[in-house]
Structure 1
Amino acid sequence: MRRILILAALFLALYFAFFGFARPSEFFKTKSSQLVYLRQENCLTLDPAKAEDQASAGVILNIFEGLVRFAPGSAKIQPCLAESWEVSGDGMSWTFKLRPGVSFQDGKPFNAQAVKFSIDRQLKKNADSSITEASLIYGMVRSVNVVGNLTVRFDLEFPYAPFLNNLAVPFAAPVVSPAAVEKYGQEFWLYPSGTGPYILKRWNRGREVVLRANQGYWGKKPSINEIIFRSEPSSAKRLKLLSDGKADVIEGSPDLNLSGLAVKGISINRVTGMDISYLGFYTNKSPFNNPKVRRAACLSIDRQELIKAIFKNSALLAGGPLPPGILAYGEDNEQYTYDLKQAGELLKEAGYPEGLKITLLCYSNPRPYNSAGGRELARYLSGQLNRAGFQAGIVSYPWDQFKEALSRQEGDAFIYGWTSENCDPDNFLYTLFSSEQIANYLNSTRYSNQKVDTLLVTAQRIEDPDLRTRLYHDAQQQLFMDAPALFLNHSLNVLLSSQEIHDLAPQPGGLVYLNSVNKTKTTRR
């Protein structure tokens, strides 16, 4: 009898170890001490130095921290692991006073040496080929210097006003435990140790990541003890699990019908993506080296109809290259409005009275700024262009091959986009339209204008936000006149949550600090 009881107990222990703990959200309604977050994609890595996808960033944001961070629900900078900072008069040095009494999740102390270690491991001279994002975040950094145990100084190659924004990015910028990196080496991405409000509990790769509250966290203690990030590709299944009480927060999708959800007690959070989708023209070769041809193409596109027809109103019409919520964004910026008659006249003036045959290059897959997919968008744009007198053919490639074709300037025009992490206009305007960025193919239109270059470099190197705003406004006006691209839309990120979830404040781009989220008590099924 005793043997039977022992075997039964062993069976139950194994059963609940596998089913009860590994996949709790599949069988029970969520508990008040637990938050189940359903997303479309799987997490790929938990090393901030190697992450470049949003699914990984959403977890990393809650395990790690940087010297500064974006305030919840905004693009404003606030202190984090640094209590204060000062900039030298020439803008070439940034000195940070670090927060005392902070520990990493492995118990090791946070200090200036850890900051230097976290950045030095990513700088080009020390980085291996697997490191990503660091060149964008730290490209202007000449050296990181330990001034004292709780003081660190960054010396830059040139003055760079958006430097604080770079240090708030969840990619590359968070500080990691040197002891953990040295212990786990190349497998640190599986055993992360930061200073954030949550600690990795387990990771069933390809399925779920489970975090537990960091009881020794220096800041606001999490009110929810356990976070479960799970992947579910089907938006309909995600919504069903939310409606059934088996999920608390889910990623929305353009194919979801959101009408009537509020009546069912489901909250809808819409956040404009930090991105831009655009139709670009090779400005350095015929036929789009002629500004009249570029403007004719811009006038051919009914962008408002595009939002309805292609995105089913699940995207935001672009008011220029910058998304709302960012410095120098302006709703009063001039934009091209649909005018077939004027488009035809410009084509004739440019020497094409019988029309113009062009090739439109596109990517085949959906992108963060284009949920409909590249082919679908290209078909719509080519149809519009054809009505104005163009004869637009389409060449489509998978993403990596598309970027190769773009670098060799295949076709005449192309659809493309950009996603920013640092929420600063420099990351859009300088990256996409500075002459300096032609060589590395980020300026894919090959647009070059000395006035715009001067405006962008000046704005990059001064800190006064009002002056930067005026400079970026002038640059955007010049871009409108020169028309190297037609700005189409920004994405709309949608998070749906149950009525038990409170204080959910998505960042621009859709990421969430979960230690500020609260949940009321629910009943187990």
Structure 2
Amino acid sequence: MLTKKTICWLVALVLVMGVALTGCGGAKSTSGTKNALVFAQGSDPRGLDPAFVDDGESAKILTQVFEGLVRYKPGSTEIQPLLATEWNTSADGKEWTFKLRKGVKFHDGTPFNAQAVKMSIERQLPPNRKEDMPYAEFTYDGVTSVEAIDEYTVKITLEKPSAAFLANMAMPLSAQIVSPEAVKKYGDKFMENPVGTGPYKFVKWEKGQQIELAQFDDYWGDKPKMPTVIYKFTKENSVRASDLITGATDIMDGVDINDLKMLQDKGMKIVKEPGMNINYMGFYTNKKPFDNQKLRKAISMAINRQYLVDYLYQGNALLPNSILPSFIPGYSKDVKPYDFNPEEAKKLLAEAGYPNGFEFTAITYSNPRPYNPANGEKLAAAIQADLAKIGVKMNIKSYPWKEYKQVLFNAEGDAYFYGWIGDNGDADNFLMLLDTTQIKGSLNSSKYSNAVLDKLLEEGRACLEPAKRAAIYAEAQKIAVEDAPWVLLSHNMDMAAYRPNVKGFALHPTGVHWLDIVAKE
């Protein structure tokens, strides 16, 4: 029998444990209050200098602190003004002139002007460019000079016309404008002391725990609805889901499809948007057996892609008909991938010289990816079962992600599983993955080469007329699907969840969000 003294001791112990457990979550006193908006993501950013990072976790935070000359419109990859109010191009498409917004300040009080833009770009151009600036060469491809015409006018000159240049300038990585004075002051430490013109300014970073941002009182635009934003870092998806339900956080991304029902049953709001990605199975087209187009076509027709979308991804993915997601300018709805038809696949096998089937090896990755939340092993196993039905044996070799990228670069096996997350919302950013010029740099993992496609892609990059460019890319998509260097498996949906008292939160196709428009009731 418990004595009165023992009961009191147990009650006290429970209270102490409750306080301790609350502290273990890493949430600070601002978490869960009306004055702070708490966003939970899977890990720390790699850094907070736009020129030196290439990851999505960094991009989300950079978008709150920094701004570029232009930005994407909410819900699309169309371009709208930001720190530039207008722009024009020369007749030959090589010169871009931007008129800058007046009355803008950086968080340290430094005035925003043409010199700040010039410095932000030139630090990423030769000879200043450093090897650990991952997006500099891509963003500023072909830029030969940046001139400050006057205090609020900048001219950027390219060596040749680039239809994707403006889209590049809207990216949250590399293209953001930084405070020249802060870069001088902090040097290499600017990575941990970011200073931009955005609606929120950086306060502090507790590594492995959280980053705190505060409303920038001198912001040129509409003031943020929340005075404080906390980015909280919680590795496990399930823990982020639990924190959301208890109110320790307000918004989370990286929603596990297995947690969806639980979150909805607890009254949490789920936001789903088509992701700017493609999930695919690729063939090494430069060597046997998949240098044979009929064989690639047979494998394509043997895979039940609809089943993958409906069951492996539980309906949280879209069936692709093109490499391009449907919201990318230049997407063609008229492109027709090979339908699921096992009987026709068997006939093609015979025509390709394999009437009794054959055996090959596919490499895959062991962990989930943004374009494949089920992980590469589960995806490969599902396709392995489909191919067995037509007499094809697919052996699977799986690797952790870091090792996988190296074995893929070495072209191990006969086929592989991979995907792509778009950078800038431009069609070329996807289709270039099949350009012959990208074989050497490893982006073209299939080692696919087609002179007609190469010519179309080169024309598309230089074409500044949207309708003409869309026609060029429609033809390119048709070739890419019919020649079948890839089996197009799915476009994964981007998902996030938030508490019912959160208003105004939305995902963007590029994977970022803007928290200055979000409020809590």
TM score, norm. by length of structure 1: 0.91
Q: Quick check: 1:409 aligned with 2:423?
A: no
Q: Where does 1:119-134 land on structure 2 (aligned, <5 Å)? A: 119-134=121-136
Residue aligning to 2:207? 205
Residue aligning to 1:3? none
Q: Of 381, 392, 395, which aligns to 2:394?
A: 392
Q: Of 376, 384, 391, which aligns to 2:378?
A: 376
Q: Of 166, 178, 191, which aligns to 2:180?
A: 178
8 Å CA contact 1:29, 1:244 repeated in 2: no
Residue aligning to 1:487? 488
- Report the Cα offset of residue 367 of structure 1: 1.7
Q: Of 303, 306, 311, which aligns to 1:304?
A: 306
- Report the Cα offset of residue 27 of structure 1: 6.3
8 Å CA contact 1:292, 1:347 repeated in 2: yes
Identity %: 41
Task: Go from structure 1 to structure 2 and tell me whether the alpha carbon gap of 1:408 and 1:43 turns closer, same or farther (over 3 Å shift).
Answer: closer
Residue aligning to 2:292? 290
- Report the Cα offset of residue 72 of structure 1: 2.2
Q: Where does 1:461-500 land on structure 2 (aligned, <5 Å)? A: 461-500=462-501
Residue aligning to 2:503? 502
Q: Quick check: 1:458 aligned with 2:478?
A: no
SS of alignment partner, residue 257 of structure 2: coil
Q: Where does 1:59-78 land on structure 2 (aligned, <5 Å)? A: 59-78=61-80
CA distance in 1, matches of 2:176, 2:408: 32
Residue aligning to 1:98? 100
Q: Of 223, 244, 247, which aligns to 1:245?
A: 247
Task: Go from structure 1 to structure 2 and tell me whether the alpha carbon gap of 1:36 and 1:285 turns closer, same or farther (over 3 Å shift).
Answer: same
Task: Go from structure 1 to structure 2 and tell me whether the alpha carbon gap of 1:267 and 1:326 turns closer, same or farther (over 3 Å shift).
Answer: same
Q: Quick check: 1:437 aligned with 2:438?
A: yes
SS of alignment partner, residue 456 of structure 1: helix
SS of alignment partner, residue 516 of structure 2: helix
8 Å CA contact 2:278, 2:419 repeated in 1: yes
CA RMSD of aligned residues (A): 2.2
SS of alignment partner, residue 460 of structure 2: helix
Residue aligning to 1:352? 354
Residue aligning to 1:266? 268
8 Å CA contact 1:272, 1:509 repeated in 2: no
Residue aligning to 1:8? none
- Report the Cα offset of residue 222 of structure 1: 0.4
Residue aligning to 1:88? 90
- Report the Cα offset of residue 265 of structure 1: 4.0
Moved more, 77-86 or 453-462: 453-462
CA distance in 2, matches of 1:153, 1:28: 44
CA distance in 2, matches of 1:243, 1:59: 23
CA distance in 2, matches of 1:28, 1:457: 52
Residue aligning to 2:81? 79
Measured against aligned partners, the alpha-carbon deviations of 1:453-509 in whole angstroms (never above 9, x if no partner) come to 222111211122222222111111111221111111122111111222112121114
Letter in 2 for 1:356: F
Q: Of 334, 340, 343, which aligns to 1:341?
A: 343
CA distance in 2, matches of 1:151, 1:420: 30
8 Å CA contact 1:295, 1:343 repeated in 2: yes
SS of alignment partner, residue 418 of structure 1: strand
CA distance in 1, matches of 2:101, 2:362: 52
Moved more, 231-240 or 96-105: 231-240
- Report the Cα offset of residue 122 of structure 1: 1.6
Residue aligning to 2:8? none
CA distance in 2, matches of 1:224, 1:313: 34
8 Å CA contact 2:27, 2:232 repeated in 1: no
Moved more, 294-303 or 321-330: 321-330
Which runs of 5 or more structure 2 residues have no equivalent in the other structure?
1-20
